[in-house]
């Protein structure tokens, strides 16, 4: 946990295509003032701003999409997960199309570029959502929740009827170092059997063997995995991106099982509404002995 808010030291830029639209896109992530949060700016639409908050979530089918006054930004979860995982509170994201670039399907390109640019401490106290009572969303056998814990932690469980996946579980403390080491390189994944249906829905037009793990009935179609349990690690990565839409870092234990973007974002929405279950505190109120880390 950090005592002070954090932003980037300098601008970083990315270029690629959107996973679902297939459109070419350029994205720049820039430093931003204290208390400004994470904000997208559509440079192709007169710099129209969309705050990365749960109130602007419009679609959660196969990706998380934000929309404000009819202006859309799709597939935001990977870049938001990176910012949340690295503990970056304030940033402006300039984007010249409607979908964040998929890059290699993981958070690794964002993570390495942001760390190379450097993270700067800001002279403003960092605020936290401190969970005091459980908050849960359940839909059948799918669940996502957050529970009281003095240390930010997260766990995720998946169970796919596929020989390369099966039941997988990961549990970890949430620190920038752990995010970079344990989650950042985990890629999105999909099944050959779903490709035609997704394309018929106008999705995965930018999908390719170099930006996703693709599975056929017998195993992984396109090479080896980056982690033995890369699938569940990617799902936890998605959860962090979606839960960042609460607008503040959480001190508590996140848990999810068989969930997805719809349940992740429903949990973010429920957290915001459940004010009786948490307090918003400055870092010094949470733990006065926090180091003066940047």
pLDDT for res 292: 46
Question: Rounded to an integer, what distance in angstroms lies between the CA atom of residue 220 and that of residue 84?
Answer: 29
Please tell me the total count of domains within the chain: 1
- In sequence order, the 6+-apart residues with CB closer than 8 A to the CB of 199 are 205
Largest CA distance in the chain: 55
Orientation angle between helical segments 77-85 and 230-243, nearest 10 degrees = 80
The sign of the CA dihedral 10, 75, 194, 233 is: positive
Classify residue 294: in a domain, yes or no: no
Predicted local confidence at residue 204, as pLDDT:
85
Rounded Cα distance between 291 and 294, Å, is: 9
Q: Which of 284, 243, 279, 211 is nearest to 52 (CA)?
A: 243
* Any domain includes 24: yes
Residue 287 pLDDT: 74
CA distance 157 to 107: 20
Residue 291 counted as domain residue: no
The pTM for the full model equals: 0.95
Residue 292, in any domain of the structure: no
Print pLDDT tens along the chain (294 aa).
899 999 999 999 999 999 999 999 999 999 999 999 999 999 999 999 999 999 999 988 889 999 999 999 999 999 999 999 999 999 999 999 999 999 999 999 999 999 999 999 999 999 999 999 999 999 999 999 999 999 999 999 999 999 999 999 999 999 999 999 999 999 999 999 988 888 888 888 899 889 999 999 999 999 899 999 999 999 999 999 999 999 999 999 999 999 999 999 999 999 999 999 999 999 989 876 554 444
The helix or strand, by DSSP H or E, that contains position 113, with its residue range, turns out to be: helix 108-117
| Catalytic residue flag (residue 261) | yes
Q: Looking at residue 54, which CATH number applies to its domain?
A: 3.30.1700.10
> Is residue 214, in this structure, part of any structural domain at all?
yes
Instruction: Give the pLDDT confidence score for residue 288 in this predicted structure.
Output: 61
Q: Residue 263's closest CA among 138, 106, 157? A: 138
H-type alpha helices, the chain: 77-85, 108-117, 176-178, 195-200, 230-243, 261-273, 283-286
Domain of 255 in residue numbering reads as 4-286
SS3 57: strand
Say if 293 falls within a structural domain.
no
């Amino acid at each position: 946990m950090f005592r002070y808010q954090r932003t980037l030291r300098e601008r970083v830029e990315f270029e690629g295509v959107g996973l679902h639209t297939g459109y070419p896109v350029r994205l720049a992530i820039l430093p931003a003032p204290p208390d400004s949060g994470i904000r997208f700016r559509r440079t192709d639409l007169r710099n129209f701003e969309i705050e990365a908050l749960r109130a602007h979530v419009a679609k959660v089918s196969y990706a998380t999409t934000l929309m404000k006054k009819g202006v859309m930004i799709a597939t935001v979860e990977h870049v938001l997960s990176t910012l949340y995982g690295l503990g970056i509170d304030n940033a402006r994201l300039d984007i010249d199309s409607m979908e964040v670039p998929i890059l290699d399907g993981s958070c690794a390109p964002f993570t390495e570029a942001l760390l190379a640019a450097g993270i700067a401490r800001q002279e403003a106290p960092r605020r936290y959502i401190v969970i005091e009572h459980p908050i849960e969303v359940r839909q059948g056998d799918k669940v996502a929740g957050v529970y009281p814990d003095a240390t930010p932690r997260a766990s995720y469980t998946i169970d796919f009827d596929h020989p390369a996946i099966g039941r997988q579980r990961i549990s970890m403390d949430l620190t920038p170092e752990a995010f970079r080491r344990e989650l950042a390189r985990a890629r999105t994944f999909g099944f050959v059997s779903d490709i035609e249906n997704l394309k018929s829905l106008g999705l995965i037009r930018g999908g390719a063997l170099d930006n996703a793990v693709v599975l056929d009935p017998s195993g992984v179609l396109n090479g080896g995995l980056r982690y033995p349990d890369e699938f569940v690690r990617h799902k936890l990565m998605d959860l962090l991106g979606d839960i960042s839409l609460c607008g503040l870092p959480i001190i508590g234990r996140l848990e999810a099982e068989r969930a997805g973007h719809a349940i992740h974002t429903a949990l973010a929405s429920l957290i915001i509404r459940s004010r009786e279950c948490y307090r918003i505190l400055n870092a010094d109120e949470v733990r006065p002995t926090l180091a003066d880390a940047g």
